[in-house]
Structure 1
Amino acid sequence: MASSDHQGNKDPTNTDGTPSPGTSCPVHSHAAEEAKRNGLRKALVRHRDYVKISVPEGKGNRLPSEWWKTFIALFYAVLNLVLTTVMITVVHERVPPKESSPPLPDKFFDYIGRVQWAFTVTEVNGMVLVSIWAIIARRYFFLLGTLYMYRCITMYITTLPVPGMHMVCAPKLQGDSQAKLQRVLQLLSGGGLSITGSHLLCGDFLYSGHTVILTLTYLFLKEYSPRSFWWYHLLCWLTAAVGAMCILVAHEHYSVDVVVAYFITTRLFYWYHTMANLQTLKCSPNNYLTHTWWNPVFNFFERNVQTHVPCSFCWPITWPPACLKNPCKKYSMVQSGREE
């Protein structure tokens, strides 16, 4: 019976999974495959190049408030706004009379006649956009101050004639410093807006400060709000776009003033946020954005910011709609890419 049982057993392995004596191990047996995988793992381990990743000890505060830096950025912005006002007063004295130097040809003006009330729409739209933002003040102030500093340079080195015969420029002061100071204070007190009656000076054409405010504020509102707020982004975009278009419809700036302002504002915004949101670029030797003159200032403001700015805000009312209770999962292309 023992012999019969042995002949009837077709399994060449023992109960512990090892091959029976006198039998050959099947090529695809489980034990053989496991041994082969273990050997492959050991070979890979011996030849693998490891990259050491340093993990900072302790959580710490990766997003410190540092309000004092915000006040420095605010001072920088106000300083350049005041400098712009002073430069407008200086440039005003160099604007040639429109009788001897008529407006330059502009293709947009050739097709669209002037609408007198259009520039008021521009300024109202700009104030609406600025009044609803309450976010990332430090970055906003720095970019705004830098853009207005650039504007001081461009309007001073090239003084353009008035873009339309409708413009009424205040009389030139012919070196009266006290009167110029009064004009500076008048511009500052009225916010440099035409609707306040404080802006009667000419020469601040290249490039458009109104376009800077409209574009920069819209970019911040869009970047730091939930991506699901498409209706909010659309309204802000329409407000900014209508405001920029009304500048041209009112013939208050040449077309090139608006185009250059849009280009410089968007490029500076994208450069700064690329460096701020991608931490690996801050110290990379291959990052050519660090060649900008403002890179040391950027490092000063962003040195301790070790993460993206979270989507955190509160509603001004206590009854948010149910569909907006959790809007902060993804709120910008750059931020959502970093969260993955």
Structure 2
Amino acid sequence: MAATELMLQDDERQTEGNSLLDVSVTIEPLPPPHIIPNGNARCNPSSATTDHAPNTKPKCNHDDRQDGGSSVTSKSSRLIRSLSNGLRRHHNYVKIPIPDGRGNRLPREWWKTGVAFVYALFNLVLTTVIITVVHERVPDKSVSPPLPDKFFDYVERVPWAFTVTEVNGMVLVGLWFIQWLFLKHKSIIGRRCFFMIGTLYLYRCVTMYITTLPVPGQHFTCAPKLYGDSERKVWRILRLISGGGLSITGSHLMCGDFLYSGHTVTLTLAYLFIQEYSPKKMRWYVVLCWLLSAVGIVCILIGHEHYSIDVVIAYFVTSRLFWWYHTMANTKALRGAPNNYLSRTWWNPIFNFLESNVTTPVPCVFSWPISLPWCNTNPCEQYSMVEGDANRDE
């Protein structure tokens, strides 16, 4: 019994000792291998150390490094081959950019042209109203004889000369209208023309109203004055509008619209637009239009229908307005320049409205008035592929 108890006590002490000797073993993850430029993995000394052999030195496996480098090299080679194949496939093509509507520097903007047309129409109607008003203030030629004019002193009146003026004016306006229809950028050019017509006739309303001149000659036959008869004045306005303000149509029987000459404005403006938007190789056409304009203006004076000052001022105002406007329109640097004195004109805000999106001079390009369906191109196509070699790699 004593021997048995001694054995049991030894077993219990051994069990308690084992329970006190708990060993904690922590396994840390190995760091990833470092890739060097030649594609091999650098050996980590700590990765070669084990718990069983703490003093052994790490050894690099040459075969493993060779396998890792070859795999990286093969991937790089495949990438280079794919890029070179792509370059060989497309090296025979050239990309040509085609501007679309978003990058268009000459947008049509027909609604602005419509606004300019309403502006011109309003001032033309206003001119007929002012003529009717001024007619009531023209002094009788028996009381106030014609003012002395140097041209009239040297040139006798030719009765049919003014008819030549109106015929030349209608021919020039007709030629310009046909030319305008065949211009590619007709919307931009049209709004410029309407703006200048409206502005010139607005100036004419002012000069006619503030200074009423007597008739230039004794041959004038003015319609009787109506004084306070508003209804008949309205009918005169409508008659003048329906006849285009021309004497050959029998619609212009009123006097007082002398300063300045509306016929000179029409002849000069039509010629300037024809000259500006005609190709250089059609010089004969421009010269012919200049002759029509010049002969028409001279015939105004030969017919003694306007004073010489009327014609001079009309030409000066029309030509300067045309040249000022196109100088600002064709020179982009002038629009925002602080030293641009042309921008001090009262119509500069209207100019900025009409020309805000026109960023380049309008070229003289012609096209059909109605676009044909087989001539239309795809506006969404931005690039055109030009084949350089027929035997290209597909």
Q: TM-score, normalised by structure 2?
A: 0.65
Matches of 1:257 and 1:306, distance apart in 2: 37
In the alignment, which of 123, 129, 153 is matched to residue 110 of structure 1?
A: 153
Partner residue of 1:249? 302
| Alignment correspondent of 1:285 | 338
- Of the three residues 69, 80, 88, the one matched with 2:123 is 80
Q: What is the deviation of 1:314?
A: 4.4
Q: Which residue of 1 aligns with 2:226?
A: 173
Which residue identity lines up with residue 121 of structure 1 in the other structure?
V
Which structure has more RCO (C-alpha within 8 Å, separation ≥ 6)? 2
The answer as to 2:237 corresponding to 1:184 is yes
How many Å separate the matches in 2 of 1:146 and 1:90? 20
1:115-130 equivalent positions in 2, closer than 5 A: 115-130=158-173
Deviation at 1:313, TM superposition (A): 1.2
Aligned-partner Cα distance in 1 for 2:190–2:166: 21
SS in 2 for 1:132: helix
% identical aligned pairs: 72
Q: Distance in 2 between matches of 1:298 and 1:88?
A: 28
Where do residues 184-333 of structure 1 align in structure 2 (5 Å cutoff)?
184-314=237-367
CA distance in 1, matches of 2:167, 2:318: 20
Please state if 1:133 is matched with 2:186: no
How many residue pairs end up in the alignment?
A: 261
Compute the TM-score of the two structures, normalised by the length of structure 1: 0.75
- Compute the displacement of 1:233 (Å): 1.1
Q: Deviation per CA, 1:93-139, whole angstroms, max 9, x where unpaired?
A: 00000000000000101111111111111111111111111431110
Per-residue deviation, residues 204-244 of structure 1 (Å, max 9, x unmatched): 00000000000011001001111222111110000000000
Q: Given the alignment of the two structures, is residue 61 of structure 1 paired with residue 114 of structure 2, yes or no?
A: no
Tell me the secondary structure at the aligned position of residue 103 of structure 2: coil
Q: 1:300 to 1:81 in 2, by over 3 A?
A: same
CA deviations 1:56-92 (Å, max 9, x no partner) are xx97010000001111111111100000000000000
Matched residue of 1:227: which SS?
coil
Runs of at least 5 residues in structure 1 that lack an aligned partner in the other structure? 1-57, 317-340
Inter-partner Cα distance in structure 1 for 2:109 and 2:261? 32
Residues in 1 aligned to 2:217 and 2:252: alpha-carbon distance in whole angstroms = 16
Match of 1:90 among 113, 127, 133: 133
In 1, the alpha carbon distance for the partners of 2:114 and 2:237 equals: 23
